């Protein structure tokens, strides 16, 4: 077997954490490719190295002295190196970084150095080969990740390398300029490497033992999800559940490679398995509940709307013209409702209203704000009668007013719109009916 293992920032924040990671990797000879993040927080009042790099570079860009800030970053790495008793000196690397900061190589370059330096330390600690991600992860001239070029380049490079450390989070343009993924992008690098080598498993090690059925800030000690499909995960991640970067799914999904979310501090825990499909039944009818606040909706009404060809397209055109992304569009015979994120919409609302009137000539238009969306997701819902009825019965019992219902054709999820003030109450009610009581 071949396993790719990615470790998050909290897993590599100190020499002590590095040792835990080293023990995990050495305990399984199949763990041959390692993707490290930059050092995270060592304690609650600490600062992540990536944030330290951003601050140092901001000073450099403003033409101010950044020696102290860069020195503090070097001290973080020296602490790890000394704690691991490695014969390694990063002074030359930091001299190069200082020169490139002065030359204003860009904030992406600055942010990427956290993973780059941690990769050098990890390779030395494990006695693995170090591969700079800038040489194997390609972005096109528009700054978009090029998956096919990257896959060919990565596969060719790793074919000759039985064990390697490939830093997460960044790659490069064709001309060598550094480009980063969005925050949390080390997850994507692990997925890219997994696809390139056709790994048997992609293990993503972090500080939790997998995905939880619901947000622990709302529900006290919710259970972990044992197995979840890529599709279920996409639905939950879209609605705010975050343990894995959502774009990390796509490279491994193409190859049918499972992802295993594991806990560096509790390596004995099995974690959550993310798979393409499975015959395993969920522990509960639902797989998980997630949601977000801060939405508003535009209700558009017109008699015989359903018989007017192109009406929906013209309404949505008004949002597209204002560069506003749409969340959900439930509709009836004479009405349609467009859900959007409030902070994205609020400054452009009157422009959108005017354009809807100009393009679609509605009979009436109404805007409602302070709404939240809750997604109930689960492959078990499709084969269980009365799921929707139980959801709405639970919400009614909790005195939650439902403002919108949207169920996809896959029957994998039901999305419910409620008022912001009822958000936590709605999640608690749904959790109680499906998990606590399981009636």
Give the chain's domains with CATH numbers.
Answer: 3-275 (3.40.1160.10), 288-436 (3.30.2130.10)
CB 325 within 8 A of CB 343: no
Q: What is the pLDDT of residues 200-226, one digit of tens each?
A: 999 999 988 999 999 999 999 999 999
> Residue range 10-39: average pLDDT?
97
Largest CA distance in the chain: 77
> What distance in Å separates the CA atoms of residue 389 and residue 406, rounded to the nearest whole number?
14
Encoded tokens for 108: 């992406």
Token representation of residue 335:
């009405």
Q: What mean pLDDT do residues 47-62 have?
A: 97
- Give me the mean pLDDT over the 251-277 stretch: 93
Greater confidence (81 vs 404) lies with 81
Do strands 335-341 and 288-301 pair parallel, antiparallel, or not at all (unpaired)?
A: antiparallel
* Whether the predicted pLDDT of 43 surpasses 60: yes
Question: Percentage of the chain surpassing pLDDT 70?
Answer: 98
CB 164 within 8 A of CB 129: yes
Mean pLDDT of the chain: 93
53 is written with which tokens?
């790099």
The pLDDT assigned to 270 comes to: 94
| Tens digit of each residue's pLDDT (9 = 90 or more) over 241-259 | 677 887 888 899 989 999 9
What pLDDT sits at residue 234?
83
Mean pLDDT of the region 394-402: 94
What pLDDT, in 10s, does the model give residues 285-329?
Answer: 899 999 999 999 999 999 988 889 999 999 999 999 999 999 888
Given this model, what pLDDT does residue 409 score?
Answer: 62
pLDDT of residue 306: 85
Question: Please, what is the end-to-end C-alpha distance for the chain in angstroms?
Answer: 42
Long-range contacts of 380-383 (CB under 8 A, 24+ apart): 380/281, 380/282, 380/284, 380/285, 380/286, 380/287, 381/285, 381/286, 381/411, 381/412, 381/413, 381/414, 382/410, 382/411, 382/412
115-134 pLDDT, tens digit per residue, is: 999 999 999 999 999 999 99
Which of 114, 78, 110 lies closest to 97 in space, CA to CA? Answer: 110
Q: Are 32 and 22 in contact (CB under 8 A)?
A: no
Q: Please give the backbone phi and psi of residue 409, each rounded to the nearest 5 degrees, phi first.
A: -65, -20
| Rounded-to-integer distance, Cα 97 and Cα 49, Å | 14
| Global pTM value | 0.87
Instruction: Tokens for 339, please give them.
Output: 């859900």
| Under 8 Å between Cβ of 252 and 194 | yes
Bridge-based pairing of strands 3-7 and 170-173 is: unpaired
> How far, CA to CA in Å, does 11 sit from each of 20, 72, 296?
8, 20, 38
Specify the pLDDT at position 228: 93
Confidence of residue 408 (pLDDT cuts 50, 70, 90): low
Rounded to whole angstroms, the Cα distance separating 345 from 15 reads 46
The predicted structure's pLDDT at residue 383: 74
Q: Where are the beta strands (DSSP E) in 208-348?
A: 227-229, 259-263, 272-275, 288-301, 335-341
- pLDDT tens, position by position, 64-94: 999 999 999 999 999 999 999 999 999 999 9
Phi, psi of 169, deg, nearest 5:
90, -25
| 410 confidence band (pLDDT: 50, 70, 90) | low
């Amino acid at each position: 077997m071949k396993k790719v293992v990615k470790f998050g920032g909290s897993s590599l924040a100190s020499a002590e954490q590095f040792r835990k990671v080293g023990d995990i990797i050495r305990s399984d000879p199949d763990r041959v490719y390692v993707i490290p993040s930059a050092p995270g927080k060592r304690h609650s009042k600490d600062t992540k190295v990536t944030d330290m790099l951003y601050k140092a570079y901001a000073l450099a860009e403003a033409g101010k002295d950044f020696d102290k800030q860069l020195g503090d970053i070097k001290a973080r790495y020296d602490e790890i190196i000394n704690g691991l008793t490695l014969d390694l000196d990063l002074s030359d690397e930091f001299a190069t970084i200082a020169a490139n900061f002065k030359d204003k190589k860009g904030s992406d370059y600055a942010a990427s150095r956290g993973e780059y330096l941690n990769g050098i330390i990890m390779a030395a600690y494990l006695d693995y080969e170090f591969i700079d991600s800038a040489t194997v992860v390609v972005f096109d001239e528009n700054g978009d990740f090029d998956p096919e070029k990257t896959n060919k380049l990565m596969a060719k490079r790793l074919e000759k390398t039985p064990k390697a450390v490939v830093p997460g989070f960044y790659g490069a343009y064709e001309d060598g300029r550094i480009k980063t993924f969005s925050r949390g992008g080390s997850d994507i690098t692990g997925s890219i490497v997994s696809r390139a080598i056709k790994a048997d498993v992609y293990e993503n090690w972090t500080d939790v033992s997998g995905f939880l059925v619901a947000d622990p800030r709302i529900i006290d000690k919710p259970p972990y999800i044992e197995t979840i499909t890529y599709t279920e995960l996409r639905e939950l991640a879209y609605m705010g559940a975050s343990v894995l970067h959502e774009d990390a799914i796509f490279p491994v999904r193409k190859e049918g490679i499972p992802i295993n979310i594991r806990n560096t501090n509790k390596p004995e825990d099995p974690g959550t398995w993310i798979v393409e499909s499975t015959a395993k039944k969920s522990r509960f009818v639902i797989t998980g509940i997630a949601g977000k606040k801060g939405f508003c909706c535009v209700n558009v009404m017109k008699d015989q709307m359903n018989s007017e060809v192109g009406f929906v397209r013209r309404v949505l055109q008004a949002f597209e013209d204002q560069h506003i992304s749409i969340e959900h569009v439930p509709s009836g015979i004479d009405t349609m409702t467009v859900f959007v994120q409030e902070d994205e919409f609020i400054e452009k609302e009157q422009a959108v209203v005017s354009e809807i009137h100009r393009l679609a000539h509605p009979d009436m238009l109404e805007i409602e704000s302070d709404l939240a969306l809750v997604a109930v997701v689960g492959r078990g819902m499709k084969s269980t009668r009365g799921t929707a009825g139980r959801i709405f019965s639970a919400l009614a019992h909790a005195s939650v007013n439902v403002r919108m219902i949207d169920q996809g054709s896959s029957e994998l999820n039901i999305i419910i719109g409620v008022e912001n003030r009822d958000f936590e109450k709605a999640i608690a009610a749904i959790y109680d009916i499906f998990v606590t009581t399981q009636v």
